[in-house]
Amino acid sequence: MDLFPYRTRKNQRAIMDTINKILNFEEDFIFESGTGSGKTICTLASTLSFALKNNKKIIYTTRTNAQQRQVIVELRQIRKKIEKNRDKIFGLGIQGRANMCILARNNPDYVKGTSDELSKLCSNEKKKVRSNNKQDGCIYFRRFIEDKIKVDKTLDWIKNELPTAEETIEYCEKYQICPYELNKLLVKDASIVVVPYVYVFENMIRNMLFDWLSVDEKDVILIVDEAHNLPDYVRDLFSIQLSVWMLQNCVIESDKYGNPTLIKDDLTVSDFCKILIDIVRDLRDTYVNNIFENGIIRNNLDKEDAFIPTNEFETEIISRLKTTSKKFYDIISDLIAYGEKIQEYKQKKGKLPRSYIHKLGVFLEFWNNLEDNKYVKLIVDSSEGKNPRIEAYCLDPSIVNYVIKKFYSSIHMSGTLEPLEEYRDSMGLSIDSELVSYPSPYSNENRKILYVSDVTTKYEEILKDKEIIERMKIYISKICTIFPKNTMVFFPSFNYLSKFKRDFNFENLNRNFYFEEQKMSQSALMEIVNEFKSSGLEEGKCATLFSVMGGRISEGMNFPAEQLEIALIVGIPYPKPTAKQRGLQRYYELKFGKGWEYTVEAPTARKLLQSIGRLIRDEKDKGIAVIMDKRANRFKKYIKDLHETNDLINDIELFMNKNF
């Protein structure tokens, strides 16, 4: 409590006491505490107190930049609490090189570079600066090494102000100093470093971070925020894919930078890539497009992916090349070596050192050596036939368990993490890990959750009853007409949202409407979110925001008080029944005997709860959520205050007119 800067609310002392206990015993802690319950400040105050007394450091990992900003804001509040000893608390927010490198941010050719590509680009720019050519190299690095006065002034500003990563970048851009190099100087003095997941779970980047910190993992406490995102993040991080688009870029690259032969004189790099394109398309046609029915092959338009036999891709390559496995491995080595030459050439020319041929070689090497029991091999066609791909999808997020075990202790937290055993098992954490689910600190009187049983988004039922969609539209239209409250409508996917937007009649509804779009930039998204919030705060105005469950708005964004009072949840966001999903479910069934519970039920419940969680952010908030699907009752064990309504409009009216 010596660092906690606020008046405590329900459960907060319990959270901090448990964290103190597990840190003393070097254990792991997995906990769920509802949105707005103060998880961040409780975890910061207790871990910082322990770290300062025991000479430890803290790495706080987040999925999004918005979550990272919140940590820095709370750290400033802790500093205010101990004003006399404020210098003891120093924290630093670090983002990926694509954000921290001002040179990359301002160059459209660099901005989409991978961390490895930007690292090579950075090394080359620094080499130019050190060559003493006054006109060459990165201006931000040059100022960093040449203007000591400005650098020292910036370092003092960061230590005194505790800026967010975005504020640091803005300041450094103004004074033309490299923020990435400044962070490398500062990080060893930080009690807490706030980073994206990749800084911990990608080997090369993690090793770089610990070189900067100059400490061993055993002297670091790991905090994983919004931990429900981590298993899928790890699966994606360790998965790999090869698309027709990428192979076509390999052909273009070979034509531009030379087209050497492979294994024999009549097979060039370009020829090899064209053979791979044919193989990927043939696999798509065999396993995705065609199905057998009564001995007849017909197109399957509803399917987007399929399993492929373990060795089929490489067997097809060897067969079509009429070569051996040994020579195929030689081809892979040659592709990697040739790709590295292209990277070096581009780097010398001041271009992003990207080589698709190098990526192809790395993919083939990975594909041929992966652990088959932890991966599923797929052929995927999710772009209307334009860009089929093969994919090795990682099924087992516990692949990073060895990383977590290196730390002194780890704390995993989220507003929606039930069942905690599923998270523990998925990440391979110890059976002795502390698991606690804290109830909401807010009165149940402030929140009402209803569901209606005459609608559903289940495809088979919609086919049978064409009125289901109309009833949903009527519900949404009536609520937007009768209740002048800011309302959010969550759909199970962007596909559903787009169809609704196309078919819904907005003309007679006296309010503003905003729509989240799938590929909307962060700045554009925040613009519509802020406009939506403003509508709720202005007298006589209100708005409706259409979004998706599991999207950026449904996770981590706050809508206190009048900014959001009604949440309408259209359907149940079950995962699509793809081959990838079936593979995951089968893997968890074999490993834990809980395939459905761990890979379908729990992730769906979390998406529902994340969307509902936008309503209540503090003790003064009130809000009502309505799930428009008869299947909602299946999630009663996760949403304990869920009730069916037979008169939705009347029940909303009774709640809204209630005195709180």
| Residue 10 vs residues 13, 81, 644: alpha-carbon distances, Å | 8, 21, 29
136, 351, 116: which is closest to 256 by C-alpha? 351
Q: Are 33 and 57 in contact (CB under 8 A)?
A: no
The residues near 461 (Cβ < 8 Å, ≥ 6 apart) are 468
Q: What is the pLDDT of residues 36-83, one digit of tens each?
A: 788 999 999 999 999 999 999 999 999 877 788 889 999 999 999 887
Domains in the chain and their CATH numbers?
1-89+191-226+415-441 (3.40.50.300), 98-175 (1.10.30), 240-394 (1.10.275.40), 444-656 (3.40.50.300)
SS3 of 56-74: the string is CEEEEEECCHHHHHHHHHH
Q: And the tokens for 534?
A: 């403003």
Q: What is the tens place of the pLDDT at every residue in 330-377?
A: 999 999 999 999 999 998 888 899 999 999 999 999 999 987 789 999
3-state secondary structure of 659: coil
Mean pLDDT of 274-292: 88
Coil, strand or helix: which one is 511?
Answer: coil
Whether the predicted pLDDT of 302 surpasses 80 = no
Backbone angles phi, psi at 299, to 5 degrees: -70, 140
Place 431 in a pLDDT band, splitting at 50, 70 and 90: very high
Distance (Å) of CA 416 to CA 3, 438, 556: 26, 11, 11
Round to whole Å and give the CA distance between 279 and 275: 6
Average pLDDT over residues 2-20: 92
Q: Which two tokens stand for residue 82?
A: 């101990």
Contact 581, 595 (CB under 8 A): no
Quick one: pLDDT at residue 615?
Answer: 85
Helix (H) or strand (E) holding 540: none
Tokens 């061993």 belong to which residue?
216
Beta carbons within 8 Å of 2's beta carbon, 6+ residues apart: 49, 82
Give the model's pLDDT for residue 298. Answer: 52
Confidence of residue 556 (pLDDT cuts 50, 70, 90): low
Which tens digits make up the pLDDT trace of 592-629? Answer: 999 999 999 999 999 999 899 888 777 778 899 999 99
SS3 at position 123: helix
Residue 348 CA to its chain's centroid (Å): 34
The CA–CA distances, whole Å, from 179 to 114, 160, 329 equal 18, 16, 42
CA distance 68 to 70: 5
The pLDDT score that the predictor gives to residue 36 is 74
512 DSSP β-pair partners: 543
DSSP state string for 318-377: HHHHT--HHHHHHHHHHHHHHHHHHHHHHHHTTS----HHHHHHHHHHHHHHS-GGGEEE
Which residue in the block uniquely carries the two structure tokens 């993690």? 206
Q: What is the 3-class SS of 384-413, one letter each residue?
A: CCCCCEEEEEECCHHHHHHHHHHCCEEEEE
pLDDT computed for residue 111 by the predictor:
79
- Check if the beta carbon of residue 486 is closer than 8 Å to that of residue 529: no
Which residue bears the tokens 């049983």? Answer: 453
Q: Which two tokens stand for residue 537?
A: 């705060």
Amino acid, single-letter form, for residue 329: Y
Q: Please confirm whether the linkage preceding 573 is cis (ω < 30° from 0).
A: no
Closest CA to 89 of 75, 74, 68: 75
Give the list of residues 6+ apart from residue 187 with CB closer than 8 angstroms, or none: 92, 94, 193, 209, 212, 213
More confident residue, 158 or 556: 158
Query: Could you tell me the pLDDT band of residue 283, with boundaries at 50, 70 and 90?
Result: very high
**CB-neighbour burial class of residue 185 (10 A; exposed 0-12, middle 13-18, buried 19+):** middle
Q: Yes or no: say if 22 and 429 are a contact pair by the CB < 8 Å rule.
A: no
Question: How many other C-beta atoms lie within 10 A of the C-beta of residue 563?
Answer: 22
- Quick one: tokens of 607? 């998406």
C-alpha span between 367 and 370 (Å, rounded): 6
What is the tens place of the pLDDT at every residue in 378-402?
Answer: 999 987 788 999 999 999 999 999 9
Burial of 599 (0-12, 13-18, 19+ CB in 10 A): buried
Q: What is the pLDDT of residue 605?
A: 94
Quick check: 296 pLDDT over 70?
Answer: no
Whether 382 contacts 304, CB under 8 Å: yes
* CA torsion through residues 251, 353, 331, 285, sign: negative
Rg (Cα) of the chain, in Å, rounded? Answer: 27
pLDDT at residue 258 tops 60: yes
Q: Are 211 and 230 in contact (CB under 8 A)?
A: no
Question: Buried b vs exposed e over 516-547: b needs ≥16 C-beta within 10 Å?
Answer: beeeeeeeebeebbeebbebbeeeeebbbbbb
Maximum separation of any 2 CA atoms in the chain, in Å: 84
pLDDT in tens, 492-507: 999 899 989 988 888 8
Residue among 501, 491, 515, 483 nearest 624 (CA): 483
Q: What is the mean pLDDT of residues 293-304?
A: 59
Q: Tokens in use for 366?
A: 């990975």
The more confident residue out of 570 and 1 is 570
Contacts of residue 322, Cβ cutoff 8 Å, sequence gap at least 6: none
Look at residues 231, 172, 186, 222 and name the one whose alpha carbon lies nearest to residue 94.
186
pLDDT at 390: 97
